[in-house]
Amino acid sequence: MCNFYSYMRISTKEERGKQGYSRQEKALDTYAKKHHIEFVLQFKEDESGKSFDNRKEWQRLEKIIQPGDTIVFKDLCRFTREAENGYQKYMDLMGRGINLIFIDNPTISTDYIKDMLNIAKSQDLVPREINTFFVKILLLVELDRAEKERVAISQRTKDGMAAKKAQAEAKGD
């Protein structure tokens, strides 16, 4: 029997008041209804996507998933915000027969990637290698984008806080 799980993640416990699960929950519920599936378990985590190591709910999910199971995410950055380890984790899960669905990023869901790799396998050497390389580049670019987005958000937050502090000091607060 194949099971469906959902995984939601917000960045940090401190941001919980500013950043909730509602957008992710709505997208996952809509997806489940549209595809006539029921989630066996829904995992929620208040942790950075920078690493898999600090995410207890992710680790709990990884212990129970079996080949043929599916994990559904709203988007790629809920899975990870680290390109290199994210790529390794993605390939490991796909290799173990775990399906990953990214509602907002369908071209990197494992079914699409598997289809592309299967097409590549049926080709001669040069097109096969080019298409296999293309799949790797597609995944790495998307994962790198998520990582760079995290860095940019962090920098914008720091810049905004510094500007606010400078503005308050200029006013004599």
| pLDDT tens readout for residues 1-11 | 799 999 999 97
Render pLDDT for 107-158 as a digit per residue (tens, 0 to 9). 999 999 999 999 999 999 998 999 899 989 989 898 888 777 766 766 777 7
Segment 75-104 mean pLDDT: 94
Phi, psi of 70 (to 5 degrees): -130, 135
pTM: 0.81
Q: Does residue 169 register a pLDDT over 90?
A: no
Q: Which of 169, 15, 21, 146 is nearest to 80 (CA)?
A: 146
> For position 27, what pLDDT does the model report?
96
